[in-house]
Amino acid sequence: MATKMTKEFPVHPYVQFMMDTYSPYKKWVESEGIPIISGSYVPDVRDVKLGDWKRRGVKGAYLSFSDQMVADAYICEIPAGGNTKPQRQLYEEIVLIATGRGATTIWYDGTPKRTFEWERGSVFAIPLNAYHQHFNATGSEPARFISLTSAPVAFELYRDPEFIFNTSYMFKDRFDPKDDEFFSREGKYHTEYYGGIFHTNFIADIRKINLVPREKRGKGTRNMYIHMAGSAMLAHVSQFPVGRYKKAHKHGPGAHVCLLDSTGYTLMWDEGQEPKRYDWHEGSVVCPPAGTWHQHYNTGNVPCKFVALHANTAVQREEGGIDQIDFDNEDTSLRKMYEEECAKNGVKPDMG
Ligand SMILES: [Fe+2]
């Protein structure tokens, strides 16, 4: 099943040639036999068409977004009463549960198995190289999740699936299998930092975590970074008010913005180009390519909340200036479009 690159944003022909011809990661993804979705967006992970995923014993699809090769997502559906086959892997993974209820068991060779239960909105990381197996707890409904992994980095570096999936090494600094409270211990908030950091290994419902003011993207914006299971990959939750949108900005590759509530849209554009629009609601995922301007607009009647799962390369070089457009400097047509979209929902813009 060949990956077809969506040419929404241009990739340098040489980079494209190298990826198409030599990429071990792309070749492995293509060998998996499930759909591969390219581009930068899915309208709703809950109704993406999946294929039978023989290796894992479930259904799945890869989201090979934005040609970035640092972190890629996949969608997995566990049938009612079903489970994934056990797997360990020399790459990191963060899981967001989209629908259903279930449980995950984690262990290393010869250690006790640790099991925790999850439902819609749960977020957790798979400790590096730990065996993990997901179970659907219901006999009536499928359960579906989206995961972000650093598999592209592992495959580009090691190339050998046998090594990546079948190496016995325990990363004790990330997960102590003897720690029976690893997934149940209360997490620690560090709100003294701008944007806040939450150290935890399991979040029952990402919608309910504490947020702190972080107004560099606009007034009323709240935020919390999340570090889990000693991973280099991380997540952050962002919330912005009714009647507002965030400042346009750009950064490195790997951010997968998963919408949790409200309605709205994201605009993305390369310098000097017309913005492309991606409408969203709960279940939508937008992945801005590296260095591409993007801007999130809330047109709903409740604050917009999303969780971005990302590689640590999705960072901004500096605040403002080069990497962010202040409201005073933006194209006036963007504000006009926003006001028209708010009017359709009976929402009063509150941009000040
Ligand atoms: Fe961003």
User: Measured in angstroms, how far is the CA atom of residue 81 from the centroid of ligand 1?
Assistant: 37
CA of 291 to the centre of ligand 1 (A): 10
Distance 245 CA to ligand 1 centre (A): 13
Beta-carbon contacts of residue 237 (< 8 Å; ≥ 6 apart): 206, 209, 211, 223, 224, 226, 260, 305, 306, 307, 308
Specify the amino acid at residue 278: Y
Q: Provide CATH code, domain 188-344.
A: 2.60.120.10
Alpha-carbon distances of 346 from 95, 199, 245, rounded to whole Å: 35, 39, 16
For ligand 1, the distance from its centroid to the CA atom of residue 277, given in whole angstroms, is: 15
Give the per-residue pLDDT at 314.
Answer: 55
Distance of CA 236 to the CA centre of its chain: 9
pTM reported for the whole predicted model: 0.93
Cβ atoms of 346 and 242 closer than 8 Å: no
Cα-to-centroid distance, 88 and ligand 1 (Å): 31
Q: How far is the CA of 249 from the centre of ligand 1 (A)?
A: 6
- Give the three-state DSSP class for 191: coil
Q: How far apart are CA 32 and CA 36, in angstroms?
A: 10
CA of 253 to the centre of ligand 1 (A): 9
Distance 265 CA to ligand 1 centre (A): 13
Q: How far does residue 280's CA lie from ligand 1's centre (Å)?
A: 15
The tens place of each residue's pLDDT in the chain, 352 residues long, gives: 444 445 566 677 777 777 777 889 999 999 999 999 999 999 999 999 999 999 999 999 999 997 778 899 999 999 999 999 999 999 999 999 999 999 999 999 999 999 999 999 999 999 999 999 999 999 999 999 999 999 999 999 999 999 999 999 999 999 998 899 999 999 999 988 777 999 999 999 999 999 999 888 899 999 999 999 999 999 999 999 999 999 999 988 889 999 999 999 999 999 889 999 999 999 999 999 988 999 999 999 999 999 999 987 655 544 545 688 999 999 999 999 999 999 999 999 999 7
Residues 156, 24 contacting (CB under 8 angstroms): yes
Distance 107 CA to ligand 1 centre (A): 34
Distance 176 CA to ligand 1 centre (A): 33
Q: How many Å lie between the centroid of ligand 1 and the Cα of residue 294?
A: 6
- Token output for 173: 């600094």
- How far is ligand 1, taken at its centre, from the CA of residue 204, in Å? 25
Q: Could you state, in order of their start, the residue ranges of all structural domains in the chain?
A: 13-165, 188-344
Query: What would the 3-class secondary structure string for 134-173 be?
Result: EEECCCCCCEEEEEEECHHHHHHHHCCHHHHHCCCCCCCC
* Sign of torsion over alpha carbons 154, 155, 161, 162: negative
Give the model's pLDDT for residue 348: 96
Q: How many CA atoms lie within 13 A of 316 on its CB side?
A: 16
How far away, in angstroms, is 127 Cα from ligand 1 center? 26
| Spatial contact of 67 and 40, defined as CB atoms under 8 Å apart | no
Scored b (16 or more CB within 10 A) or e, 104-124 reads bbbbbeeeeebebebebbbbb
13-165 and 188-344 agree in CATH topology? yes
What pLDDT is attached to residue 33? 97
What's the pLDDT at 350? Answer: 94
DSSP 216: G
pLDDT of residue 206: 97
How much distance in Å is there from the Cα of 293 to the middle of ligand 1?
8
CA of 224 to the centre of ligand 1 (A): 14
CA of 316 to the centre of ligand 1 (A): 9
Q: What was the pLDDT predicted at 305?
A: 98
Q: Domain 13-165: what homologous superfamily?
A: Jelly Rolls (2.60.120.10)
